[in-house]
Amino acid sequence: MDIVAEGIDNHGLAKSRKERDQMVIDLLQTVGLQQEHANRFPHEFSGGQRQRVGIARALALNPDFIIADEPISALDVSIQAQVINLFQDLQKERGLTYLFIAHDLSMIKHISDRVGVMYLGSLVELTTSDEIFAHPLHPYTQAMFSAIPLADPDLENSHQRIMLHGSIPSPVNLGPGCRFAGRCPYATDRCRQESPEFKEVAPGHFVACHQVG
């Protein structure tokens, strides 16, 4: 109970211990847990239940915006679906905005309205979820999406994966030019010398690449 109540205590949101405890119980029930879970120790929770407790902690201050860093990466597939459905239900009920940081492309496609792709800490492409999966424009995005396995064996056998060569530069000593130039099959001297502008190449579709548009 104390871990969920931490934000409530720090911000003085409850006028009494009774009100505090009731707020914690309400939060636990909001994320699909029960009142008796408030008295359990951390080791008594499953992975999925711990994730629900984490979501309850985030909701304690009634935020409008939540940043979720790899929210389902350590969970079984069946539990992942439950947590994603919980996120979506809470979004509808509370009008929340999420920023998901993740590597699971299937989850990103399912839950996101807009998707941004980053390479070495720099945003290289940004557009709607449907658009980026249908028409990826940046060479890094294209290579990353080509690695997604396809369920249809015939399509998978004919599917061509884009293989990247070269080494990833040091994040602390990037040097001039595009950060992806050392691995990009389309890189030119301009790419190696001049950082590309992050620009809108189609309505709502932004890309940082000299070779696009």
User: What are the pLDDT digits (tens) for 35-74?
Assistant: 888 888 888 998 889 999 999 999 999 999 999 999 888 8
Give the pLDDT of residue 174.
84
Domain annotation covers residue 52:
no
Predicted TM-score (pTM) of this structure = 0.84
Domain annotation covers residue 9:
no
Domain annotation covers residue 171:
yes
In total, how many domains does the chain have?
A: 1
Domain annotation covers residue 122:
yes
Residue-range definition of the domain harbouring residue 127: 113-213
Domain annotation covers residue 54:
no
Give the pLDDT of residue 76.
87
Give the pLDDT of residue 202.
95
Centre a 10 Å sphere on the Cβ of residue 5 and count the other Cβ atoms it contains: 21
Domain annotation covers residue 204:
yes
Asked if pLDDT for residue 154 goes beyond 90, the answer is no
Mean pLDDT, residues 12-33: 93
Mean pLDDT, residues 201-207: 97
Domain annotation covers residue 106:
no
Domain annotation covers residue 5:
no
